[in-house]
Amino acid sequence: MTALVDQLGRFFTYYNLIFIGEGFLYTIGLSAAGCGIGYVVGFLLAVLRNERIVRWAFVRWLVVLYVEIFRRIPFLVMLLVVFFAYQYAGADVPMFTIAATTLALHASAYSAEIVRAGLESVHPNQWDAAETMNMGGLAALRRVILPQSWVVLIPPAMTFSVGLIKSTSIASQVGALELTTVAKILNSKGLSAGMCYGTILVLYFVLCYSLTRFAKYLEVRLVTSRR
């Protein structure tokens, strides 16, 4: 018992808490940056893949290829490829950029599928009606299809965001100063592994679980009021 109290005292010092807090914020920032860029790219990809908007089959085919390939590369391997690709290009970029790039590539492929499913959930006759009224593909997307897609689109996107937050822990492999790296450093300074990893597990859980709950809440809200 005294050992535990002793450990607690050694672990929760002012500087360690600041260090953990910074790691926590780093994780949040990294997730936000990766999600933000990835979702924008993924949305564009889904639009490019839509045959009501892009008539050129070649473009749609390229998008399918991109999505299929990037969804089949493990996050860790993609991270290493991005890491060495920046090095190869001679670009001296911060670890944050490397990790965020990987997250964005990963997220773009998955979110393209999520958005596609959302767009396809709207009945094709809505496109037909817009088309016969001479609305262009993008106008129909913006005014008719998207407003009806959010319901189907947002909940899985939120769930996927939780997955992305969890993936950021792998960025510890290239030394990005996020939560998992923080735990590894504290552990290497002689603090107990249980304390280090236990603490960040709790922090990850708080972050992810609140988002999961929010996604569930949104799902219910969106279904009951779709406008």
Partner 1 sequence: MNYTMQFGQVTPYLGYLAGGAWVSLQIAVVAFLIGWAIGLICASVQQYGNRPARVVVRGYVTFFLNTPLLVQIFFIYFVLPDWGVMLSSYQAVLIGIALNTGGYMTEIQRAGFASIRREEIEAAETLGFTRIQSIRYVILPHITKVLFPPLSNEFIIVTMTTSLASIFGVEELTGRAYNINGETFRSLEIFSIAAVYYVILTVIVSGLLYLIGRYFFRIKSKAF
Partner 2 sequence: MSHLVVEKLSAAYGKVPVLQDIDLSIERGEIVAIIGPSGSGKSTLLRVLVGLLRPQSGSVTVAGEVLQYDNPRNLRKAREKFAIVFQQFNLFQNMTALRNVTIAPTVVKKRKPAEVEAEARALLEKVGLGHRLNAYPDEMSGGQQQRVAIARALALKPEILHLDEVTSALDPELVAEVLDTVRLLAADGMTMMIVSHEMGFVREVANKVMFMAEGRIIEVGPPEQVFDNPQTERCAEFVGRILRH
From the list partner 1, partner 2, none, which binds 182 (C-beta under 5 to 8 Å, kind-based)?
none
C-alpha–C-alpha distance, residues 146 and 89, integer Å: 39
Q: How far is the CB of 168 from partner 2 (least distance, A)?
A: 35
C-alpha–C-alpha distance, residues 175 and 171, integer Å: 7
C-alpha–C-alpha distance, residues 157 and 150, integer Å: 10
Binding region for partner 1 (CB under 8 A) out of 42-50, 97-105, 132-140, 179-187: 179-187
Q: Closer to partner 2 by CB, 19 or 150: give it.
A: 150
The contact pattern for partner 1, residues 102-131, with x = CB under 8 A and - = no contact, is ------------------------------
The reply on whether position 62 binds partner 1 by CB under 8 A is: no
C-alpha–C-alpha distance, residues 117 and 39, integer Å: 14
- DSSP for 87-151 reads HHTT----HHHHHHHHHHHHHHHHHHHHHHHHHHTS-HHHHHHHHHTT--HHHHIIIIIHHHHHH
Sequence-distant (≥ 6) Cβ neighbours of residue 141 within 8 angstroms:
47, 50, 52, 53, 119
The reply on whether position 170 binds partner 1 by CB under 8 A is: yes
From the list partner 2, partner 1, none, which binds 81 (C-beta under 5 to 8 Å, kind-based)?
partner 1
Collapsing DSSP to helix, strand or coil, 55 comes out as coil
The reply on whether position 209 binds partner 1 by CB under 8 A is: yes
Q: Closer to partner 2 by CB, 134 or 188: give it.
A: 134
Of the candidates 41, 53, 78, 140, which one interacts with partner 1 according to CB under 8 A?
78
Which position has the token pair 């780093």? 26
The footprint of partner 1 (CB under 8 A) covers 68-69, 72-78, 80-81, 84-85, 87-88, 90, 162, 165-170, 172-173, 180, 183-184, 187, 192-194, 197-198, 200-201, 204-205, 208-209, 212
